Amino acid sequence: MADSQHGTGGLVFDKSKRTWPNEINVFAALILIIVIFEALGAMIYGQSFLFDSKDRFDSIFNEQRLKIIILQVSIIGIIALGVTQVIITAGIDLSSGSVVGVTAMIAMSFAQVSEVNGIPNPKAVFGPALMDLPIIVPIVVGLFCGIFAGLINGVMVAYTRIPPFIATLGMMVSARGAAKWWTSGRPVSFPTEEYAAIGSGMMPVIIFVVLAILFHFIMKYTVYGKHTYAIGSNEDAARMSGINVTRHKVLVYTIAGMLAGISAIVLTSKNLTAQSGMGIIYELDAIAMAVIGGVSLAGGRGSIIGTVIGALIFGVIISGFTFLRLDAYYQEMVKGGIIVGAVVLDQWRQQRAAARV
């Protein structure tokens, strides 16, 4: 035994000994949940959950429901991509829902048309000079709002060293206040056609998938990603190794803010209106998606792929309850249970990981 542990040479690079990726477990959970809904559907209503049960031979799946599921999770999924990175640094971002609210209001104000059906826009925020603007203006304004909020979060967390929970809780309250202040609570509506096109049809899904691929690549193959994991895994070690932990955290929170901004642009474009109450508890849904997807609240573990699967699990459960014709109130109650359950699962995983060592 002793000799197999040390001695010269004989370095092994054994692919088969690589640890089982957690994403496979998460994916298995997704399949299991779908199977449960299929079984319940067959037992209670004699209907299939995801497959076409109307004996139409032109499709295998219930495309309508699949579309709804992925469309439903896309907008919050975009937020979850940023929240994933924050949680991997062992932080948390509670502000994303409110940042969506304030960004929605401000970006939409710059996307309004001056005339609706021949009469002046009844929901106008600015004068005619700031209406009918090219699409780039609301997009840049929206991104800037998200980046600005994220930057403040990052600076608060990294420089004042207050717990991320408190720093982003402050932003959550303030940003919601700013969203209401912007128009004294009135909704902002009637965007230009180009702006409305951003979130129409399946566009939110496409944007979500593109961003997910981009950030998967960034987290896995760039120095930014490696340092994000290192900070969450052992912040002292990261600092001793020469990583500028402070600057890196600011960057991570800023990116999370930017993604919340993008989410707000897509959301308002899809809904054709912005309200100050938009995005309420999106932050918790996003955190739930990440944690369900295997991102550890202790930091250092998780992945973008995991979060995407986590988002799908989230969507499937919500859609499954609708399919089983459960009341919307039950859905909310169950959603709370899912969030707590995901954290319990994370705790359990951590304990198991600690016991292995």
Q: How far is the CB of 297 from another protein (least distance, A)?
A: 13
Q: Please answer whether residues 349 and 296 qualify as being in contact, where contact means their C-beta atoms are separated by less than 8 angstroms.
A: yes
Does the protein bind another protein through residue 20 (CB under 8 A)? no
| Closest CB to another protein among residues 32, 214 | 214
- What does DSSP assign to residue 15? G
Q: Which two tokens stand for residue 308?
A: 């995407």
Q: Applying CB under 8 A, which of residues 25, 48, 233, 273 lies at the interface with another protein?
A: 233
Q: Judged by CB under 8 A, which stretch of 2-10, 21-29, 113-121, 260-268 contacts another protein?
A: 2-10
List the one residue from 67, 123, 180, 226 that touches another protein (CB under 8 A): 226
Distance CA 91, CA 155 (A): 13
Stretch that binds another protein, among 24-32, 68-76, 156-164, 238-246 (CB under 8 A): 238-246
End-to-end CA distance of the chain: 19
Query: For residue 77, what are the CA distances in angstroms to 30, 35, 44, 63?
Result: 16, 23, 31, 20
Q: Checking phi first, is residue 161 left (phi over 0); if not, alpha (psi -120 to 50) or beta?
A: left
Per-residue contact flags (x/-) with another protein for residues 296 to 315, judged by CB under 8 A = ----xx--------------
Q: Residue 243, interface with another protein (CB under 8 A)? A: yes
Which residues within the stretch 178-207 sit at the binding site for another protein (CB under 8 A)? none
Does 222 interact with another protein (rule: CB under 8 A)?
yes
Instruction: Work out which of 182, 229, 314, 321 binds another protein, going by CB under 8 A.
Output: 229
Give the separation between CA 100 and CA 93, rounded to whole angstroms.
13
12 binds another protein (CB under 8 A): yes
The CB-of-212 to another protein minimum distance in angstroms stands at 16
Q: Does 8 bind another protein (CB under 8 A)?
A: yes
Residue type at 18 in one-letter notation: R
Q: Does 257 bind another protein (CB under 8 A)?
A: no
Give me the least distance between CB of 218 and another protein, in Å please.
Answer: 6
Are the beta carbons of 153 and 168 closer than 8 angstroms?
A: yes
Question: DSSP for 130-157?
Answer: GSS--THHHHHHHHHHHHHHHHHHHHHH
**Least distance (Å) from another protein to the CB of residue 266?**
23
Quote the CA–CA distance of 221 and 195 in Å, as a whole number: 33
Q: Is 234 in the site for another protein (CB under 8 A)?
A: yes
Nearest to another protein of 227, 270 (CB atom): 227
What residues form DSSP beta bridges with 188? 274
Report yes or no: 23 and 306 within 8 Å, Cβ to Cβ. Answer: yes
Q: Which residues bind another protein (CB under 8 A)?
A: 1-2, 4-14, 17-19, 218, 221-224, 226-227, 229-230, 232-234, 236-238, 240-243, 248, 251, 300-301, 353, 356-357
